[in-house]
Amino acid sequence: MNSPTFKLFIANIKMTFRDKQSLFWSLLFPLLFLLIFGLFRFDSPQKYNVQFLDESKTPVSQQLIDNLMSLNVFFQKDFGTLDAAREQLKKGELAGIIIIPSQFGTINPKEQKEPVPFNVIIDGSNQQAQIIGTILNQFLNDYTLQTTGTPKLFTVATEGVQGHNVKYLDFIMPGILGMAIMFSSIIGIAVGITRYRERKILKRLMATPIKIRSYLISEVGNYLFLALMQITLIIGVGRFLFHVQVYGSYLWLVLITLAGTIIFLNIGFFVAGQAKTVNTAEAMSNAFTTPMMFLSGVFFSPDMLPKLVGKIVDYLPLTSLLKILRGISIDGRAPTEYPLALAILGGWIIVSFILAWKSFRLDRV
């Protein structure tokens, strides 16, 4: 028990427990994975954004809509007219439009000679959306059997509207872009600055004619240049190797990504101001980046989250960044079509800068 190896082992344990910040974040970080994956409802059936156009406008038709929504398969959207709904269908905001005929709820089953058609318009580029017609058809058959005892009072006629043929790589490319700049900015700045402070490099710089602020500005410029390289590489590889389509402006894509980079650099400076050691900076950085990576929709939609959690996640910087980037890349939209997401990003730029300014004080370097 008095061997050098054992003594070093005990010494290392003591040093680990003395670094309270590092210990706290190291123990908390694995629990984040359990918490995050516990929030997602992977075992729930997939849900589809649909709009009901009720031409009947009777209590019976409203009851039908309520019963369909109780299946927990649809998210109800309302874009107004049929033409407006079709436009949203082409843009991918809707999976289907269910048109309830005017005869529904007003005809006598005994007098009905032919089945009344329900028209369903779906996104033809989304193969999974075809199940909407199947679900409606099965529901109507069960509904008429239970209420009238008569089968086949209604039929379902499905029409496909061709929107963008969005592949999973088209969806995930903006997510990977946002994730890449988030990790490199937050972890790079937080760990790099903390390491320089541990090695007294920043104190030595203060003894030279070089101003610390000049050094920090150069660091920010370096990471913005790195972000440009990441944008070029990710979009280039996606476009030319995997045929990922970008339907909107490349300039807007770059500018919005750089705006997100500024937010994440500010968060990195905030972490660097709080962390006392490199280990703590790494753990704290992961505690910021990993939840956003999963919750904000890098790999799969935040719609799978509980509603309350989803509303909170909407205000995370990466969520708004990815919403705008996907709007530009997949739908060919301008960022101005996402005023709330732009406002959230603008708010984060201000708030994150204030937090970084207050936390990273030059007299602590």
Which residues are within 8 A (CB) of 262 and not within 5 positions of it... i.e. 6 or more apart?
Answer: 224, 349
Residue ranges of domains in the chain, CATH in brackets: 48-161 (3.40.1710), 168-364 (no CATH)
Report the first-to-last Cα separation within the chain, whole angstroms.
41
Find how far residue 210's CA is from the centre of its chain: 41
Q: State the pLDDT at residue 270.
A: 92
Residue 86 burial (10 A CB sphere; 0-12, 13-18, 19+): middle
Q: State the pLDDT at residue 117.
A: 78
DSSP SS3 for 271: helix
**pLDDT tens digits along 109-122:** 555 566 777 888 87
Average pLDDT for 126-155: 67
Please say if the pLDDT value at position 279 is more than 60: yes
Residue 54 burial (10 A CB sphere; 0-12, 13-18, 19+): middle
pLDDT band at 53 (very low <50, low <70, confident <90, very high): confident
How many angstroms separate the CA atoms of 50 and 67, rounded? 14
Output the pTM of the full model.
0.66
DSSP lists the bridge partners of residue 53 as 99
Alpha-helix runs per DSSP H in 76-211: 82-91, 131-147, 168-198, 201-206
Q: How many residues does the structure list for the chain?
A: 365
